[in-house]
Amino acid sequence: MILRVSGIFRWLALCALCWASSGCAAQTTVHFEGEITDESVARFSDLLASSEYQSAQWVEITSAGGDALAGMKMARLIRYRNLGVRVRGYCVSACAQYVFLAARNRHVLDGGVVLFHDNLAMIWQLHKNGGSKDGEATFAPLAVKESEFMSEIGAKSTLTKLSVTGLEPVCIYDDVRFQKNDPRRCGYASRYVAYAVPREIIGN
């Protein structure tokens, strides 16, 4: 039986059986599906802390990404617990750049894709060069945090170069629908949305 919660998570719902049977085995795979946000990562953290997932070995994920800082937080949880990441379907944006990269063991199931895009340092530089003070101020601290994270997990610098050369950014924009300091307000347009990374760059 699979239980979906708020369209974000799905996991085997064996809790009732565990209460009824002292021989219930702990789950070895945590399933995550949906957007990576502060709320979904908090629920993911609670799930990892629960008794039935103490011996978890894998996170099976399907996600189009989400918030960068939340993605880094989720990635650190996975790395701290030494969990592997299996991609079912797709793992894009924050899922690829933080969660997938942070795992020491990675596996893409048949038909799955892992897609990367810009890094935050690139967006910061674009806004700086374009004279967008709001964009520069918004992305500067995020770029520092991302750089620290990449260094922490030992990600190769080739990833940074690919994000600059592979996307061909053409302009920056200021979306007034969002408040200042909201990363969604300041962005960029490019010729390509995302790119795949050669296996030798990301290792296993």
pLDDT of the residue at 169: 66
1-115 domain in CATH 3.90.226.10?
yes
What does the pLDDT look like over 1-23, one tens digit per residue? 233 333 334 333 333 323 333 33
Q: Is the pLDDT of residue 204 over 80?
A: no
Q: What's 9-48 look like in SS3? A: EEEECCHHHHHHCCCCCCCCEEEEECCECHHHHHHHHHHH
CATH 3.90.226.10 range(s) for the chain read: 1-115
Give 173's pLDDT tier (boundaries 50, 70, 90): confident
Question: Which of the pair, 118 or 65, is modelled with greater confidence?
Answer: 65
Give 118's pLDDT tier (boundaries 50, 70, 90): confident
Sign of CA dihedral 25, 27, 39, 149: positive
CA 14 to chain centre: 27
Considering only CA atoms, which of 204, 44, 78 is closest in space to residue 152? 78
Query: What would the mean pLDDT of 62-81 be, rounded to a whole number?
Result: 95
Both structure tokens of 52: 């039935």
Instruction: Assess contact for 101 and 75: CB atoms under 8 A.
Output: yes
Residue linked to tokens 């080739």: 158
Bridging pattern class, strands 58-63 and 29-33: parallel
